[in-house]
Amino acid sequence: MAVQETVERKYVYDFAEGNKDLKDLLGGKGANLAEMTNLGLPVPPGFTITTEACQEYLATGREPDGLADQVAAHLAALERAMGRCLGDPDDPLLVSVRSGAKFSMPGMMETVLNVGLNDRSVVGLARQAAGSGEQADPAGADRFAWDSYRRLIQMFGKTVCEVPGEEFEHALDDVKRARGIRDDVELDADDLRGLVDAYKKIFRKHTGRDFPQEPREQLDLAVRAVFDSWNAERAVLYRRQERIPASLGTAVNVVAMVFGNLGPDSGTGVAFTRDPASGAQGIYGDYLANAQGEDVVAGIRNTIPLQELERLDKRSYDELLDIMARLERHYRDLCDIEFTIERGKLWMLQTRVGKRTAAAAFVIAGQLVDEGLIDLDEALHRVNGAQLAQLMFPRFQLDHEFQAVARGIGASPGAAVGQVVFTSARAVELAAEGKRVILVRRETNPDDLQGMIAAQGILTSRGGKTSHAAVVARGMGKTCVSGADALEVDVPARRFTVAGQTVAEGDVVSIDGTTGNIYLGEVPVMPSEVVQYFEGTLDPERTDDALVRAVHRIMGHADQRRRLAVRANADTGADAARARRFGAQGIGLCRTEHMFLGERRELVERLILARTDDEREKALAALLPLQRADFVEIFREMDGLPVTVRLIDPPLHEFLPPLEQLAVNVAVAQERGEDVAQEEALLAAVRRMHEENPMLGLRGVRLGLVIPGLFAMQVRAITEAAVQCARDGVTARPEIMVPLVGAVQELETVRAEAERIIAEVVGGSGVEVLIGTMIEVPRAALTAGQIAEAAQFFSFGTNDLTQMGWGFSRDDVEGAFFWRYLELGIFGISPFESLDRDGVGRLVRIAAEEGRAARPDLKLGVCGEHGGDPDSVHFFHEVGLDYVSCSPFRVPVARLEAGRAAVETTGSDSR
C-alpha cells in the first residue's frame, strides 16, 4: 500500500462517530442522527458526508480527493452491519440519500430514496419482502418492489438528471386512465412493471443514456445532486430570506432504507413532544399506515392522530412514547420526530429541537424550568425579543367561522382589517374619509408610499420578506402580507380573484401579518393578553393564562440579570405614564419639538419673524409657561426617575407653512387685492430659511447658537418645572441634552449659558440638573474625548449617526431603494432598523471608550430607534452603555433582550 504523505481530511462520519454539537460539519439532520445512534435509539445505520466536502465540491466543481475511497469504506461497514450489499441481486441493501444543512431548509434541497435498485435487485427485493412478512403476500411484495423501483427512477431522473417531472406524472396518469383507477395504490405489480419500462424510456429520451444499473454509480450521482441542490434557485432564495450564509453548504446523509409501506403493520409518522403551537404538554403527531414519508407530505391520504397508533401497534406506540420522553430529557427541549414502522419494528429517521410559535416558546421555557430540566438563565436564553414583540400585537379572534382563503408571507406582523383598494390615491382618499383600507397591489413601489401610510395594512401577490412592500411596511410598523401568489390582482379592473372568488374595491378583508393568512370579511380583533399584563390590568398571579404567567416569570428574571437600564422615548405625560407601566426606568429622550406645534405654531411664527430683540423676547416669553407646564406633567409622571430633555432639534422652518402653498396663497390674495403684508413677510422668511438639505442644515445646536434666547428659554422652562415639582414634593431629575453637536466648542457655548440660568433658577431648591449631549454626528464620535470634558452624559442618536455615517437620507432611502440593497445582499437588514455594528457601531465604540477615558463617570445611553432593536441591544450591552431608550411599546422587548445579553455565553446559537 502506498504511504500517504499528508493526512487526508475526514469527509465521512459514521453515525456512531458524530454528535449533536457537530451541526456545522454534519448538518442538523446528520448531527442529530448521530446523537440518537449514540443514545442507543433504533436509528437505521448510515453515514454522513460532511458540509466541508460539499463546500469543496461547490468551489472546485468536483468531489474532493479521497471522498470516493472514504465513501467506499463506510459503505462496506454499512453493508457489514446490515448483512447485505448495496443493490445485491438476491437480497439488496437500499439506501436513501438525504440533504441536511446546519439550519433546516424544509423542502429546499433534494432527497433520493431506494438507491440500489436495478433490473436485477428489484426481483431480490420482492423476494425479500415476501419472505419476511408476518402475512406472506407475494403479490403485495412484488407490487412493493416494482413501486419502489419506479419511484427511484422518477426521483433520480428528476433530481439527478433534470428530467422534467411532469413526464413521469403523465406516464403514471396514462396507466391509471387505461386501467380506470384513481388512486396510485390500486396499481398492481404488472402495472408498475410497465411503468418502470415507460419511465426508463423517458429517462433515456432526456439523458441520452440508460438508467444506471450500477448501484455505486447511482449513489455517487445522488450525492452529487444533493451537493448541487444547495445552489438551486429556491434554496438560494430561502437562504437569503432566512439570512443563512451561502458558504455553509449541505451535508449528505446516506441511510439504510426502512419501509413503512410493506403492509398494514408498517407505517410512517411525525410527532412533537409538546404542542408546538401552544406549548401544552401532551402527544401531538400524525400517523399514516402502510405509507412512506413522501405520501404524508403529498397529502394523498389522510393521516390519523398519533394516539390511534396505540390501538394499531401498542408495542411500537409505547416504545415511541418512551423515546420521545428520553429525547426531551436529553435535549432539554421540545423535539420533533420522524419515524417509520417496518413490520412492527420502530425506526427513528430524524429528530431535532422543534420550531414553535412565540407563545409556545415562552410557555415551554417556563415548563422546562418547573420540570428541573433547565434553569431560568437558560429559559431566558431560549426566548427572544422578536417573539415577545409578536405577542404584543393584537390578534385575530378566530373561530371555525373564519377560514383563511389564502396564505402569503407574514412580512410585517399585526392584524389589519379594511376595505380593499388598489391604488395609493384611492387609499389616501378613503382614509381621509375615516375609512380603514387595505392596499392591495401585485407589488409596491416608491410611488405607493402615501397609500401605504394611509392604509391599515398592505397585501401583495408578489415578493418576499425583503420586497419593497415588506421592508417599507416593517419600517412603518404596518401590517403586511406579501407574496400571496394565489391572488390574481387586476389593478385596472380594481379587483382580485382568489380561490374562485372575486374581491372588488370596497370589499372587506382581514390580513394577519404574522402568519400571512388572508380572510375574506371582517375578523374580530382582540387585544394581546401580554400587553394587558404589562399595562397592569391582568394579574399574573391570578390568571390561569399559561402564557402570561410564563412571560411574567421570564421578564422578572431578565430584570434581575440585566446590567443595561431601559428608558423610554416619550414626549407627553401619557406616553411617560405608559412607559413607566411597561417598566421604563426613566425617559431617555423627550423631544421638545411637538411642544412647538398646534396652537403654539403662531408663537413660533412670531419668534421666527421677529425683527427686533424685543419682539423675539416677547414670543419666547409667551412660549416659556407653556413649555414649563409640559415638563411639569412629565416630571410628575416620572417622579424620582431621570428625564432627558432634548433642546429643540428640527430646523425652525419646519414649523412654518410649506413654501409652495404659501406662495400660491399670497398670489391669490394679491390678485383679489387683499392686504397681504403679513403673509408676504412670512413668505419672505420661508424663502430666506429654505434649505436644500435641511437635515444637514440649521438644526440642533446650530439653532441654539443662531437664534438668541431660544435654548435659554427651554433651559429655564425645564429648570423652573423641576423647582416647581420639588416644591410639590415630586422629585424631578432633569438631564438637559444638546442635539447635533459636532465640536466641543458648540457644547461649551450652550453649556455656559445654561449653567448660568440653572444656577439662577435652582436657588436652594435642591434640584440638580445634568447637562450632556447627543452623539449623532460622526465628528462628535471621533472627538468624544474632547466633548466629554464638557458633557456629563452622552446619548447616542443612532438615527442621525446612521444617516450621516452612511450618507443615507433617513427620510428617503428605505422606501426608495433599500429593497434593492437587500436583494443584492449589501446588508441583510436596514441599518436604520438594526445597528450596523461594523461601521456605525465602530463610531459608538470609539466614542464610548474615548469619552469614558476622558471622564470615567460619563453616563452613556442610546436613544435612536436601535435602542429597542434586539440585536442592537446586545451590541450596546457589549460596548458597556448604561442604558438604552426606546419607544414605550418596545420597552419590554429591550428589558428582555438586555437580560438575554447579560446571560448569553459567547458563541451560543439562538436560532
User: According to the binding rule CB under 6 A, does residue 571 interact with ligand PEP?
Assistant: no
User: According to the binding rule CB under 6 A, does residue 590 interact with ligand PEP?
Assistant: no
Q: Which residues neighbour 720 within 8 Å (Cβ) at sequence distance 6 or greater? A: 628, 761
Helix (H) / strand (E) element for 270: namely: strand 267-274
864 binds, among Mg ion, ligand PEP, none (CB under 5 to 8 A by kind): ligand PEP
Q: How far is the CB of 478 from ligand PEP (least distance, A)?
A: 19
Q: How far is the CB of 774 from Mg ion (least distance, A)?
A: 6
Instruction: State yes or no: 776 annotated in a binding site.
Output: yes
**Calpha distance 295→261 (Å, rounded):** 10
Task: Report the residue number, 175 or 829, with the smaller CB distance to ligand PEP.
Answer: 829
Segment interacting with Mg ion (CB under 5 A) among 227-235, 471-479, 508-516, 770-778 = 770-778
37 binds, among Mg ion, ligand PEP, none (CB under 5 to 8 A by kind): none
Q: How far is the CB of 875 from ligand PEP (least distance, A)?
A: 15
Q: Which of 74, 381, 468, 866 is catalytic?
A: 468
Backbone angles phi, psi at 114, to 5 degrees: 65, 25
Task: Report the residue number, 124 or 805, with the smaller CB distance to ligand PEP.
Answer: 805
Q: How far is the CB of 649 from ligand PEP (least distance, A)?
A: 6
User: According to the binding rule CB under 6 A, does residue 797 interact with ligand PEP?
Assistant: yes
Phi/psi-derived region of residue 762, left when phi > 0, alpha when psi is between -120 and 50, beta in every other case: alpha
**Calpha distance 514→479 (Å, rounded):** 8
User: According to the binding rule CB under 6 A, does residue 278 interact with ligand PEP?
Assistant: no
Q: How far is the CB of 884 from Mg ion (least distance, A)?
A: 16
User: According to the binding rule CB under 6 A, does residue 888 interact with ligand PEP?
Assistant: no
591 binds, among ligand PEP, Mg ion, none (CB under 5 to 8 A by kind): ligand PEP
Strand duo 304-305 + 281-289: pairing: antiparallel
- 863 in active site: yes
For Mg ion, which residue of 46, 133, 408, 797 counts as binding (CB under 5 A)? 797
Backbone angles phi, psi at 169, to 5 degrees: -60, -45
Task: Report the residue number, 605 or 649, with the smaller CB distance to ligand PEP.
Answer: 649
Q: How far is the CB of 807 from ligand PEP (least distance, A)?
A: 15
Q: Which residues neighbour 819 within 8 Å (Cβ) at sequence distance 6 or greater? A: 466, 467, 468, 471, 472
For ligand PEP, which residue of 147, 800, 869, 897 counts as binding (CB under 6 A)? 800
**Calpha distance 589→770 (Å, rounded):** 14
Over 350-368, what HEC string results? EEEECCCCHHHHHHHHHHH
Instruction: State yes or no: 753 annotated in a binding site.
Output: no
Scored b (16 or more CB within 10 A) or e, 665-690 reads: ebeeeeeeeeebeebeebbebbeebe
User: According to the binding rule CB under 6 A, does residue 864 interact with ligand PEP?
Assistant: yes
For ligand PEP, which residue of 843, 863, 873, 903 counts as binding (CB under 6 A)? 863
> Which SS3 state, helix, strand or coil, does residue 835 take?
coil
Instruction: State yes or no: 855 annotated in a binding site.
Output: no
Whether the Cβ atoms of residue 29 and residue 105 lie closer than 8 Å to each other? no
Segment interacting with ligand PEP (CB under 6 A) among 66-74, 78-86, 510-518, 794-802 = 794-802
Cβ-count burial of 721 within 10 angstroms (0-12 exposed, 13-18 middle, 19+ buried)?
buried
516 binds, among ligand PEP, Mg ion, none (CB under 5 to 8 A by kind): none
Count of residues interacting with ligand PEP (CB under 6 A): 10
Task: Report the residue number, 426 or 646, with the smaller CB distance to ligand PEP.
Answer: 646
Scored b (16 or more CB within 10 A) or e, 131-162 reads: eebeeeeeebbbbbbbbbbbbbbbbbbbbbbe
Give the gyration radius of the chain's Cα atoms.
Answer: 34
User: According to the binding rule CB under 6 A, does residue 776 interact with ligand PEP?
Assistant: yes
User: According to the binding rule CB under 6 A, does residue 873 interact with ligand PEP?
Assistant: no
798 binds, among Mg ion, ligand PEP, none (CB under 5 to 8 A by kind): ligand PEP
**Calpha distance 503→518 (Å, rounded):** 12
Phi/psi-derived region of residue 774, left when phi > 0, alpha when psi is between -120 and 50, beta in every other case: beta
749 binds, among ligand PEP, Mg ion, none (CB under 5 to 8 A by kind): none
Strand duo 479-482 + 457-460: pairing: parallel
User: According to the binding rule CB under 5 A, does residue 588 interact with Mg ion?
Assistant: no
Whether the Cβ atoms of residue 380 and residue 557 lie closer than 8 Å to each other? yes
424 binds, among ligand PEP, Mg ion, none (CB under 5 to 8 A by kind): none
User: According to the binding rule CB under 6 A, does residue 772 interact with ligand PEP?
Assistant: no
User: According to the binding rule CB under 6 A, does residue 649 interact with ligand PEP?
Assistant: yes
> What are the DSSP E strand ranges found in 708-763?
733-738
Cβ-count burial of 120 within 10 angstroms (0-12 exposed, 13-18 middle, 19+ buried)?
middle
110 binds, among ligand PEP, Mg ion, none (CB under 5 to 8 A by kind): none
User: According to the binding rule CB under 5 A, does residue 800 interact with Mg ion?
Assistant: yes
**Calpha distance 619→409 (Å, rounded):** 53
Instruction: State yes or no: 591 annotated in a binding site.
Output: yes
Binding mask 350-369 for Mg ion (x = CB under 5 A): --------------------
**Calpha distance 242→220 (Å, rounded):** 30
What is the spatial order of strands in the sheet that 457-460 belongs to? 406-407, 517-520, 508-512, 415-421, 437-441, 457-460, 479-482, 409-412
Q: How far is the CB of 863 from ligand PEP (least distance, A)?
A: 5
Pick out residues in 135-164 that bind ligand PEP (CB under 6 A): none
Known binding-site residue numbers for substrate? 591, 646, 776, 797-800
Binding-site residues sit at: 591, 646, 776, 797-800
Residues carrying an active site annotation: 468, 863
Q: Which residues are near Mg ion by CB under 5 A?
A: 776, 797, 800
Q: Which residues bind ligand PEP (CB under 6 A)?
A: 589, 591, 649, 776, 797-800, 863-864
